[in-house]
A and B are shown apart, each in its own frame.
Chain A
């Protein structure tokens, strides 16, 4: 009784500060032959203006977890709440930027793409136009506002997707490996731009990646997930200035995380029976 009460109190205290909370979430999905457990009892809090990175090797369920936060998947166990309300389905309070370039509507111009979610959700036309043009300017695409998505490069398409999500002013911005399909130079530029954007707007971000370097650069807080099934291995603070990339402290954190990921993998492979 006493224990339960204190646990409740702790949960209530957490809710007060956390914008969003993932509590003991187990996720499963079916493939034609298997029922796969993607994450097992994952708990984490997301605070306002956090840049929370979900980092892990492939198969740690990080993308699945992000999809559950977006509302595409219902947890088998545990709850996901935003501002104290449980997530029941996808919605514009949690806009998502996907990895694939085909997330833009090809039949709409850049401007119309950015305006579309706002119009669907009842933002008046004039206001939507103003917010769209602000967001497009923020991602440096003002010159391409009237272009169709097929005329843009991959990096530009991702910028439009970010602008589209930001213009909605969501509670949380979800990004699922948004730069994984970009070349290294563009990726680096996009990471810097994202940080600059955060400096200007201070939004809340949940970012999925499998790159340790990207996690350290982008994140203010890094959740390291272990694979098969995904469990929280560690939660670390990051927060390097953009020009710290490659410095000794940066290197140290990289090494620490890669030890976490690869040493675990080595032991799990050693103990796993041969197939």
Chain B
């Protein structure tokens, strides 16, 4: 409709330039300064957060001045060091970790079997989806009374609830990971002549590794929480109590600083597993393979 016709835009002169090296800019790639590198380091940034948190805690607790309900950071640290020095915390921690590792391993094995059945047979798929739909929403702690009835007070009951908490989360993630492996990669694997188990382990497992790792992390978090909670309830009866029992025991004697020390240990283990074990596992696998951005 408009009167202006873009076909008749005013002609402009053509030109060509010779490209020369930039002068006065210095190196095209310049190394970052120390402060810039430090700011880019996530461990450093998170460390700063922890320090600020500890400082806030100390100041608030001092202002509150009520060691029975809220001990200061330094008191807690003292209780923690005492507990470690006397060997009580390491011993309780060892008991807890041992139970955890056994339960986690059993849970993973069953999850792997379930998922393999689910990717190879249709009845396996149906079983897995029905079971996960039924049991995944069921909190492991809710099974504790039943576990007590079946296995009595003690480690077998704890392992039972851990297996329950790990199994479904891991199986669900593994399965959805296998399903999301691209068709091209599957076909490529099959042209290499891979079949059955070797196809699952050489193509599907590594290709689904991001999802499997996410499942392992979720499974770990579920197992750790469930275990501490279960120990709080009946850890002592197995003869030697774990960390959960340590917390419960100290609350009964109103040693609040030790309760906090127990909680700190629970968190510290969580941080180490998340930040050291899983993080390095990620760095050596999926991040190196370009399956996850840093």
Contact = CB atoms under 8 A, between A and B. Distances in A.
A100 B289 contact: no
A197 interface: no
A91 B191 contact: yes
Nearest to A161: B188
Which 5 pairs show the lowest CB-CB distances between chains A and B? A150-B290, A117-B192, A100-B184, A90-B190, A106-B289
A102 interface: yes
Given A105-B207, A106-B291, A98 B184 contact: yes
30 contacts: A70-B187, A72-B190, A89-B190, A90-B187, A92-B191, A92-B192, A96-B188, A98-B187, A100-B184, A102-B182, A102-B184, A103-B184, A103-B188, A104-B188, A105-B188, A105-B203, A105-B206, A105-B207, A106-B289, A106-B290, A107-B207, A107-B209, A116-B192, A117-B193, A120-B192, A120-B202, A121-B193, A149-B290, A150-B289, A150-B290
Interface string B181-205: 0101101101111100010001100
B288 interface: yes
Given A105-B207, A148-B289, A70 B202 contact: no
A151 interface: yes
A121 B195 CA distance: 12
A105 B185 contact: yes
B99 interface: no
Nearest to A95: B191
A7 B188 CA distance: 37
Interface string B31-51: 000000000000000000000
Nearest to B184: A100
A151 B290 CA distance: 8
B191 A121 contact: no
Contacts of B290: 106, 148-151
A76 to B, nearest CB: 20
A94 interface: yes
Residues of B in contact with A, size category: 20 to 34
B136 interface: no
Contact of B185 (A72, A89, A103): A103
Contacts of B185: 102-103, 105
A247 B237 CA distance: 91
A29 to B, nearest CB: 13
Contacts of B91: none
Contact of B193 (A72, A90, A103): A90
Contacts of A106: 207, 289-291
A100 B182 contact: yes
B182 to A, nearest CB: 5
Contacts of B125: none
B285 interface: yes
B201 to A, nearest CB: 12
Given A90-B193, A106-B289, 19 more contacts: A89-B190, A94-B191, A96-B191, A98-B188, A102-B182, A102-B184, A102-B185, A103-B184, A103-B185, A105-B185, A105-B188, A107-B207, A107-B209, A107-B291, A120-B192, A120-B198, A121-B193, A150-B289, A150-B291
A274 B38 CA distance: 68
Nearest to B181: A102
B194 A120 contact: yes
A232 B9 CA distance: 50
A148 B287 CA distance: 11
B193 A92 contact: yes
A190 B190 CA distance: 26
A132 B210 CA distance: 28
Interface string A229-266: 00000000000000000000000000000000000000
A70 B193 CA distance: 11
Nearest to A150: B290
Identify which of A100, A104, A121, A151 gathers the most chain B CB atoms within 10 Å of its CB: A100
Interface in A79-99: 89-92, 94-96, 98
A120 B193 contact: yes
Interface string A53-72: 00000000000000000101
Contacts of B194: 120
A89 B192 CA distance: 11
Interface in A135-194: 148-151
A53 B190 CA distance: 23
A121 B288 CA distance: 27
A234 to B, nearest CB: 29
B187 A72 contact: yes
A106 B203 CA distance: 10
Interface in A13-68: none
Nearest to B202: A120
A138 to B, nearest CB: 20
B184 A107 contact: no
Contacts of B203: 105
